[in-house]
């Protein structure tokens, strides 16, 4: 018994080129929406981590000044603040560098990458 050609084609039918092109274009559209949002959320998280680290440094400076009877303008550095920092140091989020100013002056961080509204190498403060 011979099967008609139309029945043979139905049983071996696969995806057409148009269907594959539509699926690929939908995946591309979803990626075009998701990737920029992912990058922005990563920048926001890194900036939040840097600001949190700056607040930790400021708190450590205040604790150090109180315990060592130091006042505004006295200088300190990371080695003196190590006892007042959890783990002895702050953990960088985006390869930033921290500048610890004298007591009473806010510390700041600089990062080589653009984070949020901060251009590369702009000082980032906790305020």
When divided into structural domains, the chain yields a total of: 1
In the chain, the percentage of residues whose pLDDT exceeds 70 is 90
* Domain assignment of residue 121, yes or no: no
> pLDDT band at residue 9, thresholds of 50, 70 and 90?
low
Q: Domain limits at 103?
A: 17-110
* Spatial separation of the C-alpha atoms in residues 124 and 46, rounded to whole Å: 12
pLDDT in tens, 38-57: 988 989 999 999 999 999 99
* Domain assignment of residue 22, yes or no: yes
Decide: 49 and 126 in contact? Cβ < 8 Å.
no
Backbone angles phi, psi at 102, to 5 degrees: -60, 160
pLDDT in tens, 71-102: 899 998 888 898 888 888 888 888 899 999 99
């Amino acid at each position: 018994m011979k099967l008609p050609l139309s029945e043979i084609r139905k049983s071996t039918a696969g995806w057409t080129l148009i269907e594959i092109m539509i699926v690929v274009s939908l995946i591309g559209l979803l990626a075009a929406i998701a990737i920029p949002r992912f990058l922005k959320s990563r920048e926001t998280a890194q900036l939040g981590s840097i600001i949190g680290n700056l607040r930790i440094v400021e708190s450590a400076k205040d604790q150090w000044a109180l315990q060592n009877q130091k006042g505004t303008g006295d200088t300190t550095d990371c080695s003196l603040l190590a006892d007042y920092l959890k783990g002895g140091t702050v953990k960088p989020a985006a390869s930033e560098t921290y500048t610890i100013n004298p007591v009473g002056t806010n510390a700041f961080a600089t990062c080589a990458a653009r984070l949020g509204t901060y251009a590369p190498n702009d000082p980032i403060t906790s305020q």
